[in-house]
Structure 1
Amino acid sequence: MYRLNVKKFGFALGLTGALIYLGCMIVMATAGKEASITFFNSLAHGLDVTSIIRMDVPLWEALIGIIQIFILGWLIGACIAAFYNAQIKNK
């Protein structure tokens, strides 16, 4: 079996999470409140997000969110790769 590069896998997962976060920002900025609620309700398997959706998110808060998602994604990806590599038997 091949070993995963922990840093690269973490970076890939972190960047993917940041892109998804950016996609959410774009949906909310372009679709409006009602369409955003419909979109996120369908993603959440019918969970009603009406009471928790916020349309007036400041830009600085959104940028901090992207950074936080990237860091969490990197840490999760690095853990997955490290756990995967730990299970590989060396010959």
Structure 2
Amino acid sequence: MYRLNVKKLGFAFGLTGALIYLGCMIVMATAGREGTIAFFNSLLHGLDTTNIIRMDVPVLEVLMGIVQTFILWWLIGACIGGFYNTQIKKR
């Protein structure tokens, strides 16, 4: 059975999470407040995001968010790879 490279899977998850974060930034930058609220309300099955959408996010907070998102998703991917590999029978 094929074993996963834990670091590479973690990196792939991390980049995917960062890409999603950047997509969110693009939506917020182009759609404006009302468009952003409408987008995330529809994405989240009608959950009202009006009170939690903040449009004046400082640049440092955005950069920290990208880094934190990458790290979180790297850890998730590495855990999935590690858990998967432990389930494979060794020959």
**Corresponding residue for 1:46?**
46
* TM superposition outliers: structure 1 runs of 4+ over 2 Å: none
Residue of structure 2 in register with 1:74 after alignment: 74
Displacement of 1:28 in angstroms is: 0.1
Unpaired runs of 5+ residues, structure 1, are none
For 2:88, the equivalent position in structure 1 comes to: 88
Identity of aligned residues (%): 77
- What is the CA RMSD across the aligned residues, in angstroms? 0.5
2-structure distance, mates of 1:59, 1:28: 14
Q: Give the Å deviation of 1:48.
A: 0.3
**Normalised by the size of structure 1, how large is the TM-score?**
0.98
Residues in 1 aligned to 2:84 and 2:78: alpha-carbon distance in whole angstroms: 10
Deviation at 1:90, TM superposition (A): 1.2
Amino acid at match of 1:17: G
- The CA deviation string for residues 57-84 of structure 1, in whole angstroms up to 9 with x for no partner, is 0111011000000000000100000000
Q: Give 3-state SS (helix, strand or coil) of 1:32's partner.
A: helix
Tell me the residue number matched to 2:2: 2
2:16 maps to a residue whose letter is: T
For residue 41 of structure 1, give the secondary structure of its aligned residue in structure 2: helix
Partner of 2:64: 64
> Take 1:84 and 1:62, find their aligned partners in 2: how far apart are those partners?
33
Number of equivalenced pairs: 91
In the TM superposition, 1:17-32 aligns within 5 A as 17-32=17-32
